[in-house]
Amino acid sequence: MYPYPLLQKNIIVFPLFGEQTQWDPCIFDYSNEDFLNVDPRNIDNMNSYNREHLKNSRKTWWLGWYLENRSHILKGTHIQKQGRIYHLGIDIMPTEALSIFNPLNWEVYERGYEAWDGNYGWYIIIRYTLWWTIFYALYGHLSYESLNTQSIIPQGESIGKLGNTSENGNWFLHLHLQIFTGEDIDIWKNRGYCWAEDVPNMKYICPDPNFLVRY
């Protein structure tokens, strides 16, 4: 089941990008009408759009929604053509894209690379254990040179840094964070999006990652 122990205030969750992500985020809604005028596959325009909205919000980081309809942002990708348009993670981007820190202490389950436009690029999956609960977190769109190669990454230590367009699946600069309960993980670990009919079951397979981001 999902890691409910994280709800307890006495469990310390290290901020993913350090102090930058300790405060209220700017919430990005990639299904709003304003965004529909942006070409999602023009990465320079996307980065400019994100930076401008973050600057206007006067906040230090932005967050993109779990289970958001991403039909526009996926335009032209194989994912959109398959009809998998519901976002199974959350997207995070701070003002200064420095190291991503491990929020809890545990072991690396898998490192890998997903090619193709719209995929993860370089990613790490970490297996966490909190008392009786085991769950997994995928950190996607990373840079190869920065990947932590240890089998166990202590809490607060760098997992890696954000990757550029050439190595992150042809995305704008951001972190994709996705949680797995462990059920069917080998099927879903390479799916950052699902079909509409899958949405009701996602709380059992890929639940909302917001519990791992204290804000």
Strands 26-28 and 61-64: parallel
Assess contact for 63 and 91: CB atoms under 8 A: yes
Of the CA atoms within 13 Å of residue 61, those in its CB half-sphere come to: 26
Interatomic CA distance for residues 91 and 102, integer angstroms: 16
pLDDT tens digit string along 22-62? 778 999 888 877 788 888 888 998 888 888 888 999 998 99
Residue 5, phi then psi, degrees to nearest 5: -55, -25
- The ranges of the chain with pLDDT < 70 are 1-5, 7-9, 215
pLDDT value of position 213: 86
Q: List the Cα angle 208/26/138 in 5-degree steps.
A: 35
